[in-house]
Structure 1
Amino acid sequence: MTTYSGNCHCGLVKFTITLPGSIYDHNIANCNCSHCARNGSLFIYFPTKEIKYYSGEADLKGYSASFGFKVVEHMFCPQCGSSTGWKCIEPRIDNFPGVEAVNVRMLNNVDIEKLKLGPFDGRTKIGGEYELGKWYEKIQEKVEKEV
């Protein structure tokens, strides 16, 4: 078992995760859902019992209400905005009960270029098109109708 320390950018949220073996032996999800793609998040999944918070857990804010099937809650630091990971709020994604994910970009001393990155089709599994992302198209349609 290997323990990795992590924190948000400002240090309010501090935690460790414990994984079997090295993080470089695990598959890291490069999710294509609208939220992860915009934040550049790269996730490692692990049992919830393997994360230990040293500070900031109670301060974390969640975001889930505005996209997809609303089955995961993306967690972020309210002070610096770092996207720290996600928690399942409805265990229906690939049978993920009791599983969390940490954005490996929050982990200390991890070489991102050496990770085994793989695609995760969150756009399909987590859900739907991000409607607010189409705001420009809607403005363009309105402008074209006025002309």
Structure 2
Amino acid sequence: DGNAPAERQAFMVGDSGAALLLTHSDQPEVAGPRRVELDRLDLSTYTAAPLGLAVDAGSAAYIMYTSGSTGTPKGVQVPHRAIVRLVINNGFADFNHQDRVAFASNPAFDASTLEVWAPLLNGGAVVVIDQDQVLSRQGLREVLLD
């Protein structure tokens, strides 16, 4: 979360043992792992070949940090199976190839898991909505109609 205080960002990077930090060039430096600035990334140097990583349903898909409202934030590993359970044959929502889901939450918030993976794992599409549009009634209306 680029809007989080620098101390919180540094804590999460250090606590997680991250080896790589995906960020943007306008974000402040965080000591520790190698930094990859996504807005300056040259994808032409990469191949489409599989990475050959051993991943199964119990492998961590990502780490989500708690708010820390009762003390120190805690990292929670979210396994791939938890994402699949949330968005495929879940018994509460039918996601399919016709869906267009607005990605409007902060990626550091757990609601973003549903907004991203529900459409992608069911053949639909994610529509990224800029924060300025989300906060503007007219802007949000226009992007939703579009």
Q: Specify which structure has the higher proportion of strand.
A: 1
What is the TM-score with the length of structure 2 in the denominator? 0.24
* TM-score for the superposition, normalised by structure 1: 0.24
* Bigger RCO of structures 1 and 2 (CA < 8 A, at least 6 apart): 1
Point out the structure with the larger helix share: 2
